[in-house]
Amino acid sequence: MWSFIQAHQTIFALGLFWVASAGVGALPAPTATSAGPYKWFFAFANTIMANISRAYGTKIESSPNFQAAVNIQQAAAGQASTVVVPPAKV
């Protein structure tokens, strides 16, 4: 196996990068209640994998349709609608 990797270094490196990128892409986006270290790890990992727009553009709570999306999910789960207050912008 090691001789195959040495003979095909570029293909192995691209395959390894693809697997790592898929792993980082599978991370759930942080929410307003996520821990600080997870928010940092999410941004760091996506930056390393060149997912810049995902690393710094995941502000679901500040979306204009966030309340509507929460209400749809709660209705599907049979729960009463609640008022979701977005976190204060710092």
Residues 51 and 64 in one domain: no
Question: Quick one: pLDDT at residue 16?
Answer: 92
In the prediction, which pLDDT does 77 show? Answer: 87
Q: Name the nearest CA neighbour of 67 among 80, 83, 79.
A: 83
For residue 58, what pLDDT is reported?
53
Expressed as residue numbers, the domain containing 82 is 59-90
How many of the other CB atoms lie within 10 Å of CB of 52?
Answer: 11
The answer on 64 and 21 residing in a single domain is no
Domain count, the chain: 2
Task: Label residue 78 left, alpha or beta by phi (over 0 means left) and psi (-120 to 50 means alpha).
Answer: left
Query: In Å, how far from its chain's centre is CA 46?
Result: 8
Segment 4-63, tens digit of pLDDT: 889 999 999 999 999 998 999 888 887 767 788 988 998 899 899 888 777 777 555 555
Let me know whether 63 and 51 are in one domain: no
